[in-house]
Structure 1
Amino acid sequence: MESSAYRSLAFLFSLGTLPIACGPKGGDTTDGSTGGTDPTRGTTDGTPATPTDGMSSGPATAGATDSAGATDPGGTTGTGGPCQAYVDYFLRCDPEDADLADQFYAQCMTFRHQAEVLYGPTCLALHDAVYECMETAECQDGPVCGAETEVADACLPEAGASCIAFSAKEAECYGEPVPANAAGHCQVYVNSQVYYGGPACGAAVEEYFACLADLPCPEFEMGSGCDVQEAELVTACGGGP
């Protein structure tokens, strides 16, 4: 397909997924706004990345809840839940990192909350399956539980009406099918705007997409004709899509 067919969705496909089964050391960190926060990546000095979104860095206990409302359900894996299984894997494989256990746990809680908000409970359950796999996985460098991680990383939320219409408009105007997961990636983007910018921002993004989907193809391809919705989006989100 010609690259022009992806112009309107280019920013959506840059979002990526939320990988979770890498080691906690040696990776770059992200803030989660354009590709998710990977709790298994650390800073360049080997310490865990700083948890975001007000997550608690408290002790790894079953049923612990972060300040944003995410809960590590005790009993899902062993007695401590998915995040305890995550911590146990790294401490079993790198016992010298025992003093970082609380930070690892807090990062996992941050990730689970973001995964649930951006991708939904179905995808969260698939990511939790990776943690469950890690509970008995052999220690190794790099990603573990590859099959489970691949399934989890492919999961996307169910798309709403505006994202379905937007993706269909792409296919109509460019005469080529968009990727099957285009609407799902669009929904991740909308969800991320709600998460980082608030409900008003997410609603403005959806209205903007819906307006674009109603345009004749020449205007759609130029991204013109939705000036009112774009201005509302800028006001609600503090910037364009």
Structure 2
Amino acid sequence: MNPITVQDLLDAGKHASLTGSVLSEWAEKGTPKQREYLHGVLVAEHESRLESRRQRLLKAARLPAMKSLTGFDYSNVRFPDDYGSHPLESLDFIDRAQDLVLYGDVGTGKTHMATALVVAACQRGIAAKFFTTSALVMMLRRAKEEGRLDKELASLAKNQLIAIDELGYLPIDTEGARLLFQVIADGYEKRSLIITTNLEFSRWGTVFGDDNMAAAVIDRLVHHGRLLQFRGESYRVKNALMK
């Protein structure tokens, strides 16, 4: 019998989808060293698949940049009394389909935090997306014009976390406000939202062009959500070349 070559193993691996009964049978046949080798192969294959999934999710997340919460300066952030950086970084809010509103001054880390949380979710195998408010509205409007809005909304619904950045920075027309409301309403108690804004809740009516619609959005967010307040000097101004 000819010895098994590396190519033989690669060819066999292309067709392998191992069942418990097959693994049990061959594990029983093997010597301790062979079982150790087989275990190493299976663990390596599992890690490879996880890494491939992480990379696919990061690519699909529409991230503006790769950010991390490692070394993040929380001195500008005021947390609710029952919350803090440790549960935030554990992503427990995603497991519970809870929401976060990151509100406060420009340049104090809201977008950085939102981006880093999306990155962290993807790295843990959780499907997540990042949008600026204007980009999300534009995408939904285009989908509606092309008759595929339901398909686009169904695609968004596959994500456990959606970050909507810069709410209130640019005006939204009535149609855009309704489309944005639909995303927020559809996600209620099903998935998590992160919204960054420099507008207090009392001014959200100016974003949606309708106080009742804004009230309905806020009602959903506060029910299972937390408000993180950002205060301080803009990081970009503090470190600007132009003084």
TM-score, normalised with respect to structure 2: 0.28
- Look at both structures and tell me which one has the larger radius of gyration over its CA atoms: 2
